[in-house]
Amino acid sequence: RFLVAMGVGGEWAVASAMVAEVMPRRSRPVMGSIFHASSVFGTLMAVAVGYFIISRQVLQENTWRLGFVIGVLPALLTVFIRWTMREPEQWVRAQERAARDASQATGNLGGLFASQFLRNTVVATTLATIGLSTFWGCHIYGKDALKRRAEASVLQEAGLGDVTNWKAATPDQVAARDTALKDGQQKIKQQEMVGMFLTMVLGGGLGLVLFGSISNVIGRKGAFVFYHAGGLVAAALLFYVLSPGDYSPLVIGLFLPVFGFLTLGMHAGYAVYFPELFPTRLRGTGTGFCFNAGRIGSAVVILMSGLLKWTPAQSSSYLIPLFGLGVLVTFLAQETRGEELPE
């Protein structure tokens, strides 16, 4: 898992910088959004594998292995891509400047903290930390709303719907619960995949794809404010109103695409906005550092929730204000709409 994550983090930074450098100014944010949203195809594949293969246990206890094998296949495309890829002209010129002037060296991590870039580095890293913390703390928990309803339905059918505190349950009740959940695992898994599709593929995918177009109209800062403010409202509605209320799975299912759109869409902004903050010699380095430093920051946030012994429901509720913090941080950001990439 560590090696896969390390590779994905590095490839994202390189690819986002490359997309920004090869696209014309007007279409750059749209293509950056599409690039980031392409991850949704992977999510869609995971949904299909989970719904049609994993939930049916086609290879018994080894079914999960088949899922991993299927997941490896798209990675083979990278071999073809690397054979046919050409360096962007901006990057070639940056290398030529670096050869003539040592102060223009490419990939200098310390350069991100020079006075002219420090503000951009801090703002971008903070935005990524907020977005990834709310992704793991709110978005992921929210997508499982239908799964939790399916589990509750299975337990209700088993006559265990009145048990609210499983820590105080009798051994017989715990055994009955485990049996009921095992017998209903296909239904539960399928509802989990439906929720994943509605939240991450349908709603989240649209949110990602449309970030660039929205930012062309209301600016990069305006787009980040829109998504963070919308995420704040959507998460509050799901976790404080719909999930604890007596609402049908249909109502929750109809809301999940809205929730996914608003809580995930700002992630495309990292591929659109971060490359615009740094000159060519630092673009890949700055984009990769800010996004992946945000991953580390979000890991600290999630780790703290574990140390504080928050339940997943508590974590999702307590992290909602981070969306509001994202709005405030955006006001400190530099607006880059309509500008050429800095050389």
Domains of the chain and any CATH numbers: 2-88+121-330 (1.20.1250.20)
**Overall average pLDDT of the 26-50 stretch:** 86
pLDDT tens track for 162-171: 887 877 788 8
Which residue in the block uniquely carries the two structure tokens 């050869």?
99
Which tokens is 23 given? Answer: 């696209």
pLDDT digits (tens, 9 = 90+) for 149-193: 998 889 888 888 788 787 778 888 889 888 988 888 888 988 998
Q: Name the pLDDT band for 81 (thresholds 50, 70, 90).
A: confident
Mean pLDDT is lowest, of 80-84, 95-99, 268-272, for: 80-84
> Which residues lie below 8 Å from residue 266, measured CB to CB, with a gap of 6+?
127, 131, 207, 211, 223, 224, 227, 228, 231, 326
Backbone angles phi, psi at 337, to 5 degrees: -60, 135
Q: How far apart are CA 343 and CA 275, in angstroms?
A: 11
Specify the DSSP class assigned to residue 102.
Answer: G
Place of tokens 């890949």: 284
The pLDDT of residue 3 is above 90: no
SS3 103: helix
Entry pTM: 0.88
| DSSP helix/strand/coil, 303 | helix
* CB-based contacts of 245, cutoff 8 Å, min separation 6: none
